[in-house]
Structure 1
Amino acid sequence: MKKLDIFKIIIIIFAILLSLWYLKPTFQFFSMSPEEKAKMDPYKLDRLKDKILNLGLDLQGGMHLVLEADMSKLKEKAEAEDVIDRAIEVIRNRIDQYGVSEPVIQKQGRTRIIVELPGLQDKQRAKELIGRTALLEFILLEDPELFSDLIDKIDMYLAKKAKPESTQNVSLTAQESKQTNAENDSLEDLTKMLEEEEAKTEELGGEKPFSSLLVSWGGDIYVSEENIPKVKKILADSIVKKLIPVRSQILWASKPEIIRDKNYYGLYLLKKEPELTGAGIADARAEIGSGASLQTANRPYVTFTLNSEGADIFDRVTRANINKRLAIVLDKKVYSAPTIRSRIPHGRGQITGNFTMNEAKDLAIVLRSGALPIPLKQIEERTIGPTLGRDSIRAGITAALFGMAVVIIFMMIYYKLSGVLANLALFLNVLFIMAVLAGFHATLTLPGIAGIILTIGMSIDANVLIFERIREELALGKTIRTAIDVGYSRAFRTILDANVTTFITAVVLYQFGTGPIRGFAVTLSIGILASMFTALIITRVIYDIITSRYTIKHLSI
């Protein structure tokens, strides 16, 4: 046997063993039951997932979202493309930290972004994580007296505007707002105060149409959940908007406080301009509080660290505003409004609230990844269940197996033992395709399975060309050895031309296609290379081994 043939045999054996090694984690992972996966060490399971062939959205289920950017706030149209690219990068960072494997995030047209999240479990949480603008601001609260005066002015305007209607809501006068002491309030005191003020409301007969919808507790203003629509309607009035100082704004709390088994949302008057934004954040982490602080004891909260520039600004702001309140505002919702007791020189702080651990983790993720440069609204959502994915896998595998079975039977009947050789090349072709996909940690989709099925036909086509050439040479009376050599030599050019043109088509599909089209192009490209290797190298080496070791008078073809 020639040295070249020995070298080819070594390459073939190495390729087969390497393919089996790459596919082993995939076989191991998908053969495990959910119970076995749950019992497995999380670190080892993650390591195993990093080595497997991923299944796409259409095979394992998940979520498909189409987001559209609100371009109305852009000053120049030239900014649009840059803004979309930055939004895609922010979304990608958030999803990567969330832990979804092989997401698809791409631009569609000029203003839309497609997001595909295969294998996603908590869909609502993911939507909130992706769509949240995450504009973090640190804003000083206005003086309580200014807020009380504003409430009085709104009451006066509403009283003049229309006949006051009776209400059973809690009354709050400006003088009472000033006298409320945050340090001495307790839940029992509040309950008593609410009962007293409910009686006062009836006596007032609706003379305070705005403040009667409010509750003062702990130095802050609250609105019961059922009164929120009324308060929002009042604040949306064009005249009321003009009553609000130009350099101030009214914002709501992010989450309610539970008072007397009812939800009350905080209402804050803040300065309009922030002292610092989330651009100054270097890191953010979700943590569980210890018993050292009653505010965070055994509760999730978020710690953040500012970069050097942000730390300098924070130091200056806290030093100049001791005993004033600084609100931590995310997407125009107040998460907390602590009082500045002393300067904070090192740029470290925390965001507290009624968080669950998942909410704290998601908040930390969006703070680390940065704010979206433009608001995004969801215009389409499709959820594919795992059952549909399993049905797709079953249908794809059935189609592939049925196609292979028909081809195998045909090749064995028509080409006899040479057909068996072609079938062996076919199996190795599929093995190499799957191994390459697993080795590159690629994602297999339904179009990808279609590409594999097409490759099965192309692989057999190459062998058919070779066998027909060999038959022609044998018909001319040439020896078996010569017929094989000439057959492979003459078929090579035809096979190469056909595969090169198909490969170029696959490259074009990958370059200009999206999602599923790219999946088809990838598997088709790998299949073309694998089919040429199996048809031109592997089958030829097997023929060479047989003809060099045995004296063959008749070739079964």
Structure 2
Amino acid sequence: MLQIDLWKRALIWLVVVVGLALAIPNAFYTRVEQANDAKAAIEIGQTSPELTEAAGQWPNWLPSSLVNLGLDLRGGAHLLAEVQVGDVYASRMEAMWPEVRDALRHERATVGTIRLQPSAPDEMRVKISQPDGMDRAVQVVRGLARPIQSLTGAGSSDIEVRADGDEIVVTLSEAERLASDDRTVRQALEIVRRRIDEVGTREPTIQRQGADRILIQVPGIGSASELKEIIGTTARLSFHPVAGRGSDADAPPGIGNKIVPSLDEEGIYYTIEAAPVVTGEELVDAQPSFDQNGRPAVSFRFNTTGARKFGDYTAENIGNPFAIVLDDEVISAPVIQAHIPGGSGIITGRFTVEESTDLAVLLRAGALPAGLNFLEERTIGPELGQDSIDAGKVATIVAFAAVLVFMALSYGLFGLFANVALILNIGLIFGLLSLIGATLTLPGIAGIVLTVGMAVDANVLIFERIREELKTAKGPSRAIELGYEKALSAILDANITTFITAVILFAMGSGPVRGFAITLGLGILTSVFTAIFVTRLLIIMWFERRRPKTIEV
């Protein structure tokens, strides 16, 4: 019998209403976007009458999620960055010196005194006072080597050690350099992604190109220079023992030390040990906060390893200064007053609220493992995107109108029911895109246009089947019921195969291809829903009201 239970009717209309409600903000795109940005600024502590006014442009009780516009539609910034993988070699050698020093100290009777010598950035030279013990010294340092944890470097060690007169020369092995380069690029890629995500930019494209390059495309950002400021800041945090303090930047620092300026005290320079006690890589959290005097600060927390090292050092060095270094500038050098267990602390300085928030974001995202050299940068204006949007609108409207006219002329009243479902289908697509925070690109618009054409396929199959059943069935009610039942398998077969294609495109593709796959896949889901459920419900409601003896499809 031609009927749908009341709870099913309520569920169908609920899905439609929720989908349209989610799509509504896109009809007021600029207003909703300004309101969302203002609310986000207010949440992080910014206040002004303009922000309050902008936040009130869109009611809080309405959905406020928008379909993000891609770079080809909205404009934005495009960067191609080269990761300076060689920077990591120097950091590795610098970090390894304390380990080599401690290992050789146990062999002092054989090797004599040890001194770190000036050397190239990618190697470490250690001079011993008793050359007769060179073989033993080389053997000890080689014992510090670790196996490489990669498929290409299986069975190899991470360092190579050789003797050069009275000096031990330590370098990274070729296999370790290759593995290090790959790790560095992967880490830089992830940190760039975190930094861009932290500042709330919408749906960036961040992907690796070649061996050591990263492609970065961010829609909606003002300029390429603004994007470089977000991702180009190193934010390398470390904690160092202080060896001295003075006003001479050219004073000899001593072997194993370096001189860095003070951020807050102009003309003051600190001599610190080059090897840090703890680094920012061992941070697990950083949040903007306030110190005991109500001034902006940044609180931080280390992981288990960092907390142990931080606690051990503070316990053994009470009364000594301890430098907090950010990007080779001392931002604070407090004297250790007591043992600090737990791995938590606070960074104070002459921060504004905005500066402390930005610093927390950078520290939380992590330090770039190496510098970035920007090979290509472009700011794409919104005019280009507007042309694409206008062309996409025209194509969508033409396709939409042509389908509406065709369905109305071909199937009469039933065609009008299909047209209503088609309009709802478009709304549901935008509702789903807004719900999942998807990005609409020019290929995505093509996917919507294709969906408009595909959306009526299911209705055509159903209506043609009803026509066939009208020739043999006992009445219109039975013909409609059989039409939906017998067309269902063909509808599912056609749409499942297309949906599988969309899933493969999404999994294997990137950028614009994914945009097309997303709109195509969501369009298939909404098309099947509106054809099988919405048009059927509309026809049943009409049939229950009119009770026609005959129908024409």
Q: For this structure pair, what is the TM-score category when the shorter chain's length is used for normalisation?
A: 0.5 to 0.7
Corresponding residue for residue 275 of structure 2? 273
Which of 372, 376, 381 is the matching residue for 1:380?
376
- Report the residue type matching 1:120 in the other structure: I
SS in 2 for 1:221: coil
| Cα distance between partner residues in 2 of 1:307 and 1:334 | 24
| Contact 2:35/2:57, CA 8 A, preserved across alignment | no
Q: Which structure has the larger Rg?
A: 1
Residue number among 196, 199, 207 corresponding to 1:98 in the alignment: 199
Mapped to 1, the partners of 2:345 and 2:549 lie a distance apart of 86
Quote the sequence identity (%).
39
Alpha-carbon offset, residue 512 of structure 1: 0.9
Match of 2:512 among 505, 516, 524: 516
1:458 aligns with 2:454: yes
Q: Deviations over 1:181-229 (max 9, x none)?
A: xxxxxxxxxxxxxxxxxxxxxxxxxxxxxxxxxxxxxx31369xxxxxx
Q: Provide the secondary structure at the position in 1 that maps to 2:453.
A: helix
Deviation at 1:526, TM superposition (A): 1.4
1:39 equivalent in alignment to 2:52 = yes
C-alpha root-mean-square deviation of aligned residues, in Å? 4.2
Show the 5 A alignment for 1:473-484. 480-481=476-477, 483-484=479-480
Q: Which amino acid aligns with 1:542?
A: L
User: Following TM superposition, by how much is the alpha carbon of 1:306 offset from its aligned partner in structure 2, in angstroms?
Assistant: 5.1
SS of 2:405 mapped into structure 1: helix
Distance 1:55 1:521 in 2: 15
Residues 1:499 and 1:365: Cα distance change in structure 2 (over 3 Å): same
Q: 1:345 to 1:461 in 2, by over 3 A?
A: closer
SS in structure 2 at match of 1:77: helix
2:503 matched to 1:507? yes
Correspondences of 1:159-308 after superposition (within 5 Å): 219-221=246-248, 245-251=254-260, 257=266, 269-281=271-283, 283-286=285-288, 302=298, 304=300
| Match among 330, 334, 340 for residue 329 of structure 2 | 334
Question: For residues 273 and 14 of structure 1, do their structure 2 counterparts lie closer, same or farther at Cα, with a shift above 3 Å needed?
Answer: closer
Alignment partner of 1:12 is 2:39? no
Point out where structure 1 has 5 or more consecutive residues left out of the alignment: 145-218, 224-234, 236-242, 258-264
TM-score, length basis structure 2: 0.67
The separation in 2 between residues aligned to 1:256 and 1:307, in whole angstroms, is 31
- Listed as ranges, the matches of 1:412-451 within 5 Å are 412-451=408-447
Deviates more, 1:9-18 or 1:73-82: 73-82
Q: Which runs of 5+ in 2 are unaligned?
A: 39-50, 90-175
Q: State the AA in 1 paired with 2:70.
A: L
Give the superposition deviation at 1:458: 0.1
After TM superposition, give the deviation of residue 302 of structure 1 in Å. 4.3
The equivalent residue for 1:229 is none
User: 2:31–2:57: 8 Å Cα contact kept in structure 1?
Assistant: no
Correspondence for 1:70 among 74, 78, 84: 84
Question: Is the contact between residue 78 and residue 217 of structure 2 (CA under 8 Å) also seen in structure 1?
Answer: yes
- How many residue pairs align between the two structures? 450
Range moving further from structure 2, 434-443 or 496-505? 434-443
Q: Distance in 2 between matches of 1:52 and 1:317?
A: 48
Quote the offset at 1:12 in angstroms. 2.5
* Distance in structure 2 (CA, Å) of the matches to 1:515 and 1:138: 40
Q: Is this contact kept in 1: 2:35–2:55, CA < 8 A? A: no
User: Secondary structure of the equivalent of 1:505?
Assistant: helix
Deviations along 1:53-100, whole A, 9 cap, x unmatched? 231333444334343433444624345555444444433433343233
Instruction: Measure the CA separation in 2 of the matches of 1:341 and 1:466.
Output: 79
Displacement of 1:506 in angstroms is 0.1
**Cα–Cα, structure 1 residues 22 and 372, in superposed 2: closer, same or farther, change >3 Å?**
same
Map 1:340-359; keep pairs closer than 5 Å.
340=335, 342=337, 345=340, 348-352=345-349, 357-359=353-355
Residue number in structure 2 paired with 1:409: 405
Provide closer, same or farther for how the CA distance between residues 76 and 222 of structure 1 changes in structure 2, counting only shifts above 3 A.
closer
- Cα shift at 1:505: 0.7
Residue identity matched to 1:117? V
